[in-house]
């Protein structure tokens, strides 16, 4: 669990120095990296762990009986233990390593929903889900004849309309999947309460923690979900490694996801017996260095403290929201208060892609587009938004620079205003 440090007592400038990539110019201007919801930057501690592994321990896991293989196996399994502590899972067996949030959700859709749902069953999602928490369910619904239902989003302020939530849950729903933090709106959903209400009706729950796991304390026992998915690359870890937390009894009742090496206990020509959880779900050589890098990232984040990180990110986003709102002629998305560390916006007279392209020329990295939330965009009546997403190494001065850059964009595109 994260240590309770107050964010005002931390030396954020020293922390920022752990990220050498931030100290550069792009297009001749100092880089202001505000695309952290897409992927975070990596601290030296993570790069050191990867280098150390490849310089001293690189080998395959669970196979050799030689020293390097034993070290690689110990490192890989230590990363699993660390992840269990990071999420407060009851045991390391509840942690399956995947490629990321997307693969984790596909695993549950295929292996749990694929065998436990039947024609006429319902899957409840919300209108603010990322494509990764929609498309896998569409694929499985089509295969088994299940139906999808959605909890509505209220509008630009981006809250879940929970007035009909209990009614929606009643109607033959077998699985409820919800994002913890929206990657477009910055909404923080009350996942513990929602999962409790679903569980009371015997509904299986999945939480998409892609935008929350590295930003705030995430405790699977407090949330009370059956499954939780997250990505390593969004929490200072390497790309290519992700996590599926599954409650032991759920993982036990699931069929394997892929067949191959590692996931078996015995193979015959015509019949195979599966390995125990979590190995049953990890076919082939896993991303060993990725897990070791993830371990270092989790140590790094918890040394700062995720509660302090959340306070810092939310404060920056609130400041950005307030300053953007004061400009006028701008449409802001997401809740006015209790906003997570990102802000989506649209200038009245400049397309989001132009905002992002222009900002890039001035050194500011934003993201523009549908952010893999096309159904939500459709609901809000827009095609895209510009988005600034913050992490603990960002500063108020960078928010000020963003505002300055927006001013320059305005001047360029509508010089008379």
Q: Is 183 in the site for ligand C6P (CB under 6 A)?
A: yes
Q: Are 187 and 343 in contact (CB under 8 A)?
A: no
Window 92-131: residues binding ligand C6P (CB under 6 A)? 100-102, 130
Per CB under 6 A, the segment of 165-173, 356-364, 365-373, 398-406 that binds ligand C6P is 365-373
Window 46-85: residues binding ligand C6P (CB under 6 A)? none
Q: Is 179 in the site for ligand C6P (CB under 6 A)?
A: yes
Residue 103 CB, nearest approach to ligand C6P (Å): 7
Window 329-358: residues binding ligand C6P (CB under 6 A)? none
3-class DSSP state for residue 24? coil
Q: How many Å apart are CA 159 and CA 139, to the nearest integer?
A: 27
Contacts of 162 (CB under 8 A, 6+ apart): 151, 194
Per CB under 6 A, the segment of 60-68, 85-93, 367-375, 409-417 that binds ligand C6P is 367-375
Which residue, 69 or 374, has its beta carbon nearer to ligand C6P? 374
Exactly one of 220, 235, 355, 372 binds ligand C6P (CB under 6 A); which one?
372
Q: Is 37 in the site for ligand C6P (CB under 6 A)?
A: yes
CA dist 13 to 314, 362, 396, Å?
18, 23, 12
Q: Show the CA angle centred on residue 287, arms to residues 284 and 292, nearest 5°.
A: 140
Q: Which residues carry out catalysis?
A: 372
Which residue, 7 or 215, has its beta carbon nearer to ligand C6P? 215
Which residue, 36 or 73, has its beta carbon nearer to ligand C6P? 36
3-class DSSP state for residue 233? helix
Number of helices and strands in the chain (H, E): 15, 17
Which residue, 72 or 332, has its beta carbon nearer to ligand C6P? 332
Residue 207 CB, nearest approach to ligand C6P (Å): 10
Size of the site for ligand C6P (CB under 6 A): 17
Segment holding 159, helix H or strand E: none
Q: How many Å apart are CA 160 and CA 152, to the nearest integer?
A: 6
Q: Are 220 and 258 in contact (CB under 8 A)?
A: no
Q: Is 371 in the site for ligand C6P (CB under 6 A)?
A: yes
Taking only Cα atoms into account, the Rg of the chain, rounded to an integer number of angstroms, comes to: 22
Residue with the two structure tokens 């939330």: 373
Which residue, 392 or 410, has its beta carbon nearer to ligand C6P? 392
How many other C-beta atoms are found inside a 10 Å radius of the C-beta of residue 167? 8
Exactly one of 111, 126, 231, 344 binds ligand C6P (CB under 6 A); which one?
231
- φ/ψ of 246, rounded to 5, equals -135, 135
Ramachandran bin of 399, using left for φ above 0, alpha for ψ from -120 to 50, beta for the remaining angles: alpha
Residue 104 CB, nearest approach to ligand C6P (Å): 8
Window 190-219: residues binding ligand C6P (CB under 6 A)? 208, 210-211
- Chain residues binding ligand C6P by CB under 6 A are 37-38, 100-102, 130, 132-133, 179, 183, 208, 210-211, 231, 367, 371-372
């Amino acid at each position: 669990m994260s240590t309770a440090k107050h964010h005002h007592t931390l030396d954020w400038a020293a922390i920022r120095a752990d990220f050498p990539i931030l100290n550069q110019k792009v297009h001749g201007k100092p880089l202001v990296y505000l695309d952290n919801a897409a992927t975070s930057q990596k601290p030296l501690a993570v790069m050191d762990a990867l280098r150390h592994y490849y310089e001293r321990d690189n080998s395959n896991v669970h196979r050799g009986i030689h020293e390097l293989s034993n070290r690689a196996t110990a490192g890989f399994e230590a990363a699993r233990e660390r992840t269990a502590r990071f999420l407060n899972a009851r045991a390391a067996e509840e942690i399956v390593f995947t490629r990321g949030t997307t693969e984790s959700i596909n695993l549950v859709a295929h292996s749990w929903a694929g065998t436990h749902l039947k024609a006429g069953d319902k899957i409840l999602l919300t209108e603010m889900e990322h494509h990764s928490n929609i498309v896998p369910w569409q694929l499985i619904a089509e295969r088994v004849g299940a139906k999808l239902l959605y909890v509505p989003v209220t509008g630009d302020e981006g809250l879940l309309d929970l007035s009909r939530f209990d009614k929606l849950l009643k109607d033959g729903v077998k699985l409820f999947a919800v994002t913890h933090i929206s990657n477009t709106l910055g909404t923080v959903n009350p996942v513990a309460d929602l999962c409790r209400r679903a569980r009371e009706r015997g509904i299986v729950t999945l939480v998409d923690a892609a935008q929350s796991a590295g930003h705030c304390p995430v405790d699977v026992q407090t949330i009370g979900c059956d499954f939780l998915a997250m990505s390593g690359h969004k929490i200072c870890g390497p790309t290519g490694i992700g996590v599926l937390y599954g409650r032991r009894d759920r993982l036990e009742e699931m069929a394997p996801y892929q067949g191959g090496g590692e996931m078996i206990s015995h193979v015959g020509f015509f019949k195979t017996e599966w390995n125990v959880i979590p190995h049953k779900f990890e076919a082939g050589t896993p991303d060993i260095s990725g897990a070791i890098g993830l371990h270092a990232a989790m140590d790094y984040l918890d040394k700062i403290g995720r509660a302090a990180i959340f306070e810092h990110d939310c404060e920056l986003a609130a400041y950005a929201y307030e300053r953007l709102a004061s400009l006028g002629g701008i449409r802001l998305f997401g809740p006015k208060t209790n906003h997570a560390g990102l802000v989506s916006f649209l200038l009245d007279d400049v397309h989001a892609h132009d905002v992002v392209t222009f900002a890039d020329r001035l050194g500011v990295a934003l993201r523009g587009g549908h952010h893999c939330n096309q159904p939500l965009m459709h609901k809000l009546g827009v095609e895209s938004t510009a988005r600034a997403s913050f992490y603990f190494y960002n500063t108020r001065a960078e928010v000020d620079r963003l505002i300055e850059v927006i001013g320059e964009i305005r001047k360029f595109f509508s010089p008379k205003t």
